[in-house]
Amino acid sequence: MLNLRIRSNFATLVAPYVPLHVNIATLIAVLLATVVGGIVYYDQSRGRQMALIEAQAAFQSFGETLRSELRALRGPIESVVEATAAMVDMMPADTLFSIDMVDLLARRIQETDGLYALYYGDEDGNFVLVFNLAISAPGADADFLAWIIRRADETSIDQTVVMLNDDLEILSTDTRQNNGYDPRIRPWYHAAMQSDAAIQTAPYIYFETNDIGITIARQVRSGNGVVGGDLTLGTMSDLLGKHRLSESSIAVIFNETGSVLAAAEIDHVLSIRRHDDRPVVQQQSLASIGDAPYGALSRLFASGVRDGVHEAEENGRDWVIWLSPISLGQGAPALLSIASPAAEVNAQVDRRFRTGLLIAFGGLASGLLLTWAVAKAISRPIGRLTDEAYQMRTFDLSDRPPIDSRILEVHKLSQAVLTLKRSLKDFARYVPAQLVRRLVSGEMSADIGGVRSEVTLLFTDIQDFTAISETTEPMALMQEVSDYLATITKPLTDNGGTIDKYIGDAVMAMWNAPVAQPDHVEQACRAALAANAAIGPLNAGRVATGRQPLITRFGLHVGEAVVGNVGSPDRMNYTILGATVNLAARLEGLNKQLGTTILISDAVEARIRDAFLTRPVDRVRPKGASVPVTVHELIDHSPASEDQATFLASWQDCYALFLERDWTAALQALQAHIERHPGDAPARALRRRAEHYARTPPPPDWDGVFDVDEK
């Protein structure tokens, strides 16, 4: 028995072997690796020693840059606070809490980068403050917001809110109920009143704005008030976040107790919780943060290290850490630290090492590349031929550039593969491509027999083709039929159909075989509509040249059939047998009597009624069939247009009256329908049937079925 199944397992044969070019290149690579291995090991060990030395210089330079920028951020704010405190002593008392003072403070803010707010409060509880809205409320309509709070006594308090633009022009002035703010009870006021120098507070939440930061404050010389300036931790952290020594490095400022003062992420500085519905700030420590670099830094700091570059390990990852004291003005000393993964620190040395290695062994690498190129030149055509063979196994017969080689055996093999590919292409012209693909890939064998499966079948035929063929010269007829079949075949195959056979001018197509298609019924209906549309331009061209149009009729049915190989061991045909095939063919022929173009069975209509527009046109018992079938005309895709909806509603009324045996009403409805739709051939066919029944009524047990005597 003939069996075309491919039994060789291509992957199993290839897997244990190594490509030719790899074998050649590997031999030389082993020799090169032996020569340079010792040198690589020595240079790598020296590079690790150099990494820590270079890291110290890099950390020092980077740290000095951060130190300078922090001084540039904090220093001017402290200077402005000192200068403003000195100026307050010289100002008249009646101007201290006035628009003039607001103007003075706003100008100082304009001159000082990073200054969040500048203010003055006296021993009587009077207070004047200017917010920098560019920091506290970016995008606000104004540039500055000022408070002026005057206390005549503890029960008589006036608060004025002033909005200013960048030119210090007043935009609005509003008198409000006092918000309860009293500078005398604020921590910065108490701390400054107890010091002869400028002080810096610990981080806290600012009144009303809920921003977080520190205050630099200074008692005025007269001792009757304090000037303060705010610097948010967000501003300091933004500065640290802008600079990174490496991709994963961190920069942090912390004090001698390990409490974090500034870091690139603000949540590494403070944790905020709510108590009695108010935010409570808790300063983070190195140990409480939990991130690996902070954990490594915490353990290094706990060991007593305060300066220099050191290595530490945390959670299996090595870190290089630099620490250095930093001055933040009055108060406890602080430390500036930078931590970077050791892998990123060493990466700089590794890159330089690799560059040197490439230069030192450039000649050897060139030799290896040349060897590789020669090996590839020898093996490339063989590899391409292997790919071609595998692609033919999957029935990929697309055209590719020819494979040529100066090696005689490779050249002969290339010609043999090309000949085989051409033969398969020609074979696929006579047999469905899906069938050939499954045969070549080994998915099925060419054995006689079949399987029972659900399929959707489509038959087509040309109206009056016999008359057309009798008036057309045979060679011209052959060309015209070929053009017609090419036109109708493309939309069928584009929509998943497999052409079973051409029967003269007729076409038999199937879906869901030989490859399963879950939506095969819908695909077949789409194909029929697309094929009918494609024939239109062809017929327009024929009519324009004086030839008869090739009016095509379609029949579709879905059901079970036997699908497989039929014939002899020497000559087979892959086809479908069964009553499903006969009914699909009968539906195509029934178009002639009903005046329709595409007829589908009720089995098809039940599967596609939501996706397509159909109408019932008759209930028939085809010749040779025992069970009647309701046939439907396939009209279009859903949804229906307004005209289509009107047309279908009118038809349904006519058809319902016909089935009810009300011949007079049915004829009247059909006449009105035809007058509105004169091109509706099925309506004229139904009218003829109604006229016949009006003259010769069917028996009382008539069930609406029309027995078709013709095939």
* Identical fold, 69-339 and 447-639: no
Lowest pLDDT segment from 169-183, 318-332, 453-467: 318-332
Q: Are 153 and 179 in contact (CB under 8 A)?
A: no
pLDDT category at 446 given cuts 50, 70, 90 is: low
Average pLDDT, the chain: 80
- What is the distance in angstroms between the CA of the first residue and the CA of the last residue of the chain? 38
CATH number listed for the domain at residues 447-639: 3.30.70.1230
Closest CA to 492 of 519, 457, 467: 457
| 461 has a pLDDT exceeding 70 | yes
What confidence score (pLDDT) does residue 36 get? 60
Percent of the residues in the chain that have a pLDDT greater than 70, as a whole number: 74
pLDDT category at 655 given cuts 50, 70, 90 is: very high
- Rounded to a whole number of angstroms, the CA Rg of the chain reads 46
What confidence score (pLDDT) does residue 552 get? 95
| 514 has a pLDDT exceeding 90 | no
Where along the chain do its domains lie? 69-339, 447-639, 640-700
Q: Would the CA dihedral through 28, 29, 33, 36 be positive or negative? A: positive
Lowest pLDDT segment from 222-231, 270-279, 571-580, 677-686: 270-279
pLDDT category at 597 given cuts 50, 70, 90 is: very high
What confidence score (pLDDT) does residue 414 get? 62
Lowest pLDDT segment from 243-247, 380-384, 662-666: 380-384
Strands (E), 317-448: 317-326, 334-341
- 69 or 99, greater pLDDT: 99
586 DSSP assignment:
H
Average confidence (pLDDT) over 693-711: 78
The segment with the largest mean pLDDT, out of 23-27, 367-371, 582-586, is: 582-586
Which CATH superfamily does the domain covering 69-339 fall into?
PAS domain (3.30.450.20)
Closest CA to 231 of 69, 81, 67, 74: 74
Q: Rounded to whole angstroms, how far apart are CA atoms 400 and 393?
A: 16
| 376 has a pLDDT exceeding 70 | no
User: Could you report the per-residue pLDDT of 109-144, keeping only the tens digit for each?
Assistant: 999 888 989 999 999 889 999 999 888 778 788 999
The CA angle 170-171-175, to the nearest 5 degrees, is 85
Extract long-range pairs of 317-323: CB within 8 Å, 24+ residues apart.
317/292, 317/341, 317/342, 318/342, 318/343, 319/292, 319/293, 320/52, 320/55, 320/59, 320/345, 321/293, 321/296, 321/297, 322/55, 322/56, 322/59, 322/60, 322/63
Q: Rounded to whole angstroms, how far apart are CA atoms 131 and 143?
A: 9
